[in-house]
Structures are given as C-alpha cells and as structure tokens.
Amino acid sequence: MKPKLVLVDGMALLFRSYFASAAMGHFIRLPDGTPTNGAQGFARHVITANTIFKPDYMAICWDMGAVTFRNDIYDGYKANRQAPPEEMLPQFDMAKELAERLGWHNFGVKGLEADDLIGSMIKKWQHEADITVISGDRDLLQLLRPNVRIALTKKGYSEYNMYDEARFVEEYGILPEQFADVKAFMGDTSDGYPGVKGIGEKTALQLIKKHNSVDGVLQAIATLTPAQQRKIEADKDMLVISQQLAEIHCDAQIDAALTALTLPTYEGVAEQLMQDGFSLLARHINQNKP
C-alpha cells in the first residue's frame, strides 16, 4: 500500500479562514492587538484535515508575492483583485511561522504560485504516494490523476467536495489535463483574463470534447459555426495567452524527499502557543492530538 501525502494550498485556506471570521468581526487579537483569525483558522483547518485524511506526509504550498511569471505573459493577470484588508497583512507571515512552529513543511518559490508547486509535487510523487490536495481552487482539477484526489473546501473545517479522476470525467466529459483548454476559452474573471468573449463553459466544453485542445479547435476553425469563428478570430491572441495562464506548470524544482515530509507529534507546542496568545489554536491541538 502506498503512503498518503496531503498537499495543502496554504493561501487558499488562509484567505478562507480570514474572511469567514472577519465577516463576524472575530479577529482574535494577540495582547498587542495583532489580528490572528486567518492564521489560526488556517492552522486549525490543516490539523482537522490531518484527522480526516490521516496522511503519512504533508506539505504546505504558498504563493510568494503578488507577481509571478504569469504577469510577464499578461500584465492584466489578477490585476482586478482588491488589496488584502489591513487586518490580514500581518497574517501572511504569521501563518507560515505558525506552520513552522507546528513542525509542518512550507514550500514557496518566488515567481510561482502554490498551484505550480502542488502540480510539481504531484508530478514528482504521483507514483510513490496516494495524494490528496486541499484547496478551494477548481483550477487544480486539471491535476487529477489515477491516485490523486482534489478536496475542495465546502463548509467549515471538515466538509469537502471530493473529486477523483473518474468523477471529473463523468461530470465534464473530458480528461483533467484538458481543463486548462476549457478555461482558455471561458476565461477567469477572478484571475483577470477574459478568454474568448461570448464563449462560456458549456460551449468551451463542447469545443474541447470535439477537438481535444485549443490547437485542435484552431486547426478546425473552418468547421465551426460562423458565430464561433467570429468570436475566436476576434480574440485568438487572447485565447493563446489565456491557455498559458490557465495551465498549471509542473516543472518546479522540488528538492525535498517525500520521506522528509513527516508529520509532527505537537509535543509541548500547544503550551507554548497558549503562552504566546494563540489560545484557540492551542486548544484545537489538544483536542486533535494524533
């Protein structure tokens, strides 16, 4: 039996935890007034995930700054996103520091997104481990493989919308690796790239089902409806750019060995965290010790 590896999209859980509690005004401040709601919520979420999925190994993947190689491809990439709230700013480093204190393994590469690191780890270890990815980002569905599952956050800390390769193929009618081609046509408003104006998910799926890829559609463009031809010709350059933006890159150098990503016992950590003002997290650790 293969060991279990959990890959965590750290930024996705941090943002989710922050906004879920900030909406109710629960910032859970340290004695000096520093808010901790997102960072403590992120850590609590990961601890709960460990009790659910029971991994042998785990890695936390982070975005490293707002600018990545995708901004070099298209300067409008994520340009429409609002700046994080002021209360969240100190919690980016805090979340990573808490992860280190808990004995977890952080990964981040300047110029890459967490998605690219997760994809690279899947490529590196897909034959060595059964892998579960925890995130709220459906873009990661393109990384599904026979022994890879994507656990999309659903409700609270413990409910997930689970995808494996079979479920994806049944729902979408394409292979996971073709999902980026679908996104290239339909675009992504949250990431700030338009795809082809006037082509939504339904039409994009139909095109990829029939022609397999963006290149396949472009080669067969003369067979499409006049309306589809007009839309694609008008946005052909953006289509090609959107495909590059949508595709998760899986070639990052991962120097760690799988066996180095063991989980800690949390011995003595809760007491220290309680002394430092992270009482919510400390109690959660004591309630969920392995």
The per-residue pLDDT for range 48-79, each reduced to its tens digit, is 999 999 999 999 999 988 788 898 888 888 87
The pLDDT assigned to 160 comes to: 97
- Backbone Cα Rg of the chain: 20
The matching CATH number, chosen from 1.10.150.20, 3.30.930.10, 1.10.275.10, 1.10.3720.10, for 173-246 is 1.10.150.20
Q: What DSSP state is assigned to residue 249?
A: P
Lookup: tokens for 54: 């029971």
Rounded to 5°, angle at Cα 51 from 50 and 57: 30
Q: Tens-of-pLDDT digits for all 290 residues of the chain?
A: 899 999 999 999 999 999 999 988 899 999 999 999 999 999 999 999 999 999 999 999 999 887 888 988 888 888 788 889 999 999 999 999 999 999 999 999 999 999 999 999 999 999 999 999 999 999 999 999 999 999 999 988 899 999 999 999 999 999 999 999 999 999 998 888 889 999 999 999 999 999 999 999 999 999 999 999 999 999 999 999 999 999 999 999 999 999 999 999 999 999 999 999 999 999 999 998 76
The amino acid occupying position 23 is A
The total number of residues shown for the chain amounts to 290
Tokens of 144: 């599904």
- Indicate the DSSP class of residue 159: E
| Domain with residues 4-170+249-287, CATH architecture | 3-Layer(aba) Sandwich (3.40)
CB count within 10 Å of CB 202 equals: 9
Angle at CA 212, nearest 5°, toward 112 and 244? 20
Give pLDDT tens digits for 4-35.
Answer: 999 999 999 999 999 999 988 899 999 999 99
**CA–CA separation, 172 and 166 (whole Å):** 10
Residue 80's pLDDT is what? Answer: 81
Domain range summary for the chain, segments of one domain joined by +: 4-170+249-287, 173-246
Q: With H, G, I as helix, E, B as strand and everything else as coil, classify residue 252.
A: coil
Spatial contact of 84 and 197, defined as CB atoms under 8 Å apart = no
Tokens of 104: 């977890």
